[in-house]
């Protein structure tokens, strides 16, 4: 994958963004597996407010919008039942 400064045209940019998006989707799947494991262990792993505050801090440190990152994690958390069911089907 080319670095942003190496991209010479929109095809290069699109390919790089597609690669990043595939990696993000893979990581969401891995995250789902851990949350599913936590559910199976009957553990409360995350205090959602605490988790969101940490992610907001990480966003600020990465020069990203804390609100955007918080919204992303709120969506992930609100839909964890949907992807945990899919993980159970895959893991069987």
pLDDT at 91: 43
Instruction: With 0.75 as the threshold, say if the pTM is over it.
Output: no
pLDDT at 84: 52
Average pLDDT taken over every residue of the chain: 84
What structural domains does the chain harbor? 4-91 (1.20.59.10)
pLDDT at 85: 55
**Alpha helix positions (H), 1-92:** 10-40, 48-61, 66-78, 80-91
For residue 92, pLDDT over 50 is answered with: no
């Amino acid at each position: 994958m080319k670095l942003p400064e190496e991209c010479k045209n929109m095809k290069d940019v699109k390919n790089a963004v597609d690669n990043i998006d595939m990696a993000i989707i893979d990581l969401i799947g891995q995250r789902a597996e851990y949350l599913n494991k936590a559910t199976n262990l009957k553990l409360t792993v995350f205090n959602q407010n605490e988790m969101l505050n940490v992610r907001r801090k990480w966003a600020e440190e990465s020069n990203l919008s804390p609100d955007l990152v918080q919204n992303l994690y709120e969506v992930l958390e609100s839909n964890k039942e949907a992807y945990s069911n899919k993980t159970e089907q895959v893991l069987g």
